[in-house]
Amino acid sequence: MATDNLSHYDKNTVPSAKTFRFGIVVSEWNNDITDNLHQGALETLVDCGADKKNIISWTVPGSFELVYGCKKMITTQKVDAIIAIGNVIQGETKHFDFVCQGVTQGIVDLNTKYDVPVVFCVLTDNTKQQSIDRSGGKLGNKGVECAIAAVKMAALNSSVISAVEIGF
């Protein structure tokens, strides 16, 4: 169980997001949860210096479709990092397991195939209350944490590309 507040970050340890373009792909399923995660991510990116016009948000029907949405964003938009936002809550069938495994492996595959970091912001909780607690509730907002990860990964990718360009 998470014990830290997912919304806490030290702005002094986060690179500026001013020069980066971000993509966010959001599942419409459990939209009360995913909308909160999306809002947390947007506010955090802007707080870290991103220009609102440099943040592209798309929706897809469910968490399983996040992989395709992220792939399309990578191949059609110039973005420095993408946040994949979804929510899957355990039910009475194995559907939960298949969706979680598929979206997780799909995002891993995107990260190994393409040179754009895709950050996993998919809550995979046992109960609706756990999702509420992690999307702006008592444990903070996972969207904030993932936005910080996206900024750091965009900066890492940029510094690696710069180092290669100057011959390191």
How many whole angstroms separate alpha carbon 143 and alpha carbon 96?
Answer: 21
- The CB density around residue 103, as the number of other CB atoms within 10 Å, is 24
Host H or E run for residue 113: helix 95-113
Retrieve residue 68's tokens: 């395709």
Angle of helix 142-165 versus helix 31-47 axis, rounded to 10? 50
Q: Which of 95, 98, 108, 159 is catalytic?
A: 95
Q: CB–CB of 147/83 below 8 Å?
A: yes
33-56 residues labelled b (16+ CB within 10 A) or e (exposed)? bbbbbbebbbebbebbbbeeebbe
**Residue 95 annotated among the catalytic residues of the structure:** yes
Catalytic annotation, residues: 95
